[in-house]
Amino acid sequence: MSQPGPPAMPRHVAVIMDGNGRWAERRGQPRSDGHRAGVESVRQVVRAASDLGIGWLTLYAFSTENWNRPKAEVDLLMKLPEEYFEQELPEVIERRCRIRTIGRRDRLPPSVRRSLEDAMTRTQDGTGMQLVFALSYGGRGEIVEAVRRIVRDHEVGRIDVDSLDEKLFTSYLDEPELPDVDLLIRTGGESRVSNFLLWQIAYAELHVSECMWPDFGRAQLEAALADFQGRERRFGQTSAQVRSTRGKS
């Protein structure tokens, strides 16, 4: 876990990319145009975060609840990751980024799964920014799935109840290496966590941007980082404790 006190650069930034639909509707365009414009923001933010030395970037691209949207919108949202990988993979590889994924991959259409798995394989040696796509993802579902795996391992005697602690629990999540989120950004102006990374955001700093996602780029990311750097992270301690620890380090 990070240390109390004024934070340096966040190690893990997670983003709820909201507002594509409203961005399009305000222009009198179909919602699909908003999602397409949203891919351009993904491109810009990935570049900027990698340039700025962010270690982990997790993007909420499709929630389990998004399956309930109209079929045409779901079909488009399923196509976008494939198109993104097709176009961006060479640059992602050049940047030494590694693509990872969280969520119910078994629910994705086979072609999406294949392109995701191909992108993950081709970037698996990437030691730069770890770029995580949350696809068909829900935080509660991830936790329930972890419990299921734990119970199974318990049944075959692989773990005993007393050894279960937060660290061991984390190792049963979709991506065990995913660090705690330091900064959670939500675009589109609404202050909700929408079932995103419920376990990992326990101590995250929240930054709500009024920008709709297609208008969010490098400058807005830098503003979010500056906001983060102005916070005092206490992790349950008092301000005085944090100040005295800071003096010693």
3-state DSSP assignment of residue 16: strand
Check residue 105 for interaction with ligand FPP (CB under 6 A).
no
3-state DSSP assignment of residue 53: coil
Residue 24: which H helix or E strand, with range? helix 20-26
Q: Interface with ligand FPP by CB under 6 A: which range of 77-85, 138-146, 191-199, 217-225?
A: 77-85
Q: Interface with ligand FPP by CB under 6 A: which range of 37-45, 100-108, 112-120, 155-163?
A: 37-45
| Smallest separation (angstroms) from ligand FPP to the CB of 139 | 15
Check residue 228 for interaction with ligand FPP (CB under 6 A).
no
The angle formed by the CA atoms of residues 6, 8 and 10, to the nearest 5 degrees, is 115
Rounded distance, CA 128 to CA 93, Å?
9
Residue from 45, 57, 61, 208 binding ligand FPP (CB under 6 A):
61
DSSP string for residues in 193-205 = -TTSSTTTTTTPE
Q: Specify whether 66 is catalytic.
A: yes
| Smallest separation (angstroms) from ligand FPP to the CB of 84 | 3
Write the CA distances from 216 to 15, 41, 45, integer angstroms. Answer: 11, 6, 8
Check residue 138 for interaction with ligand FPP (CB under 6 A).
no
Check residue 133 for interaction with ligand FPP (CB under 6 A).
yes
Rounded distance, CA 173 to CA 146, Å?
5
Rounded distance, CA 60 to CA 137, Å?
8
Active-site option among 66, 153, 215, 227: 66
Check residue 38 for interaction with ligand FPP (CB under 6 A).
yes
Specify the residue, 92 or 183, whose C-beta has the smaller distance to ligand FPP: 92
Considering CB under 6 A, how many residues would be counted as binding ligand FPP? Answer: 19
Q: Specify whether 18 is catalytic.
A: yes
Rounded distance, CA 223 to CA 220, Å?
5
Q: Which amino acid is at 194?
A: S
Q: Interface with ligand FPP by CB under 6 A: which range of 5-13, 34-42, 147-155, 161-169?
A: 34-42
Encoding tokens for residue 15?
A: 């983003």
Q: Which amino acid is at 40?
A: E
Q: Interface with ligand FPP by CB under 6 A: which range of 20-28, 152-160, 194-202, 241-249?
A: 20-28
Q: Footprint of ligand FPP on this chain (CB under 6 A)?
A: 17-22, 35, 38-39, 42, 61, 66, 77, 80-81, 84, 133, 188, 213
Please list the active-site residues: 18, 66
